[in-house]
Amino acid sequence: MASTSHERLSANQWGQYYVSSECNGCGVCVVCAPDNLQHSWDGTYCAVAAQPVDEREERDVEAAQAACPLQCLHSDGDE
């Protein structure tokens, strides 16, 4: 059962976007934004490996956020 804490995973690169503890590693986000998101070493979750640096990457991460079936890719507005 998924957690509802929305706790930021420590594997995320610090910044505006982050994946929370609800992630199950499905990889939808990685397909949408491969320059910014990646699977963990064991495949059990995904995390933000690099914050977006341009408009294309920003759009890709926003598309990944919209596509996430568990809604565990968040934006807190901190840059």
The tens digit of pLDDT for each residue in 14-39 reads: 999 999 999 999 999 999 999 999 99
Given a contact cutoff of 8 angstroms between Cβ atoms, the answer to whether 26 and 1 are in contact is no
pLDDT score of 6: 77
CATH topology of domain 17-75: Alpha-Beta Plaits (3.30.70)
Name the residue ranges covered by the structural domains of the chain.
17-75
Give 23's contacts (C-beta < 8 A, 6+ positions apart): 9, 45, 46, 47, 70, 72
Q: Is the pTM here over 0.85, yes or no?
A: yes
Q: What is the SS3 assignment for 31?
A: helix
The tens digit of pLDDT for each residue in 48-77 reads: 999 999 999 999 999 999 999 999 999 986
Ramachandran region, residue 70 (left: φ > 0; alpha: ψ -120 to 50; beta: rest):
alpha
Q: What are the tokens at 4?
A: 């509802």
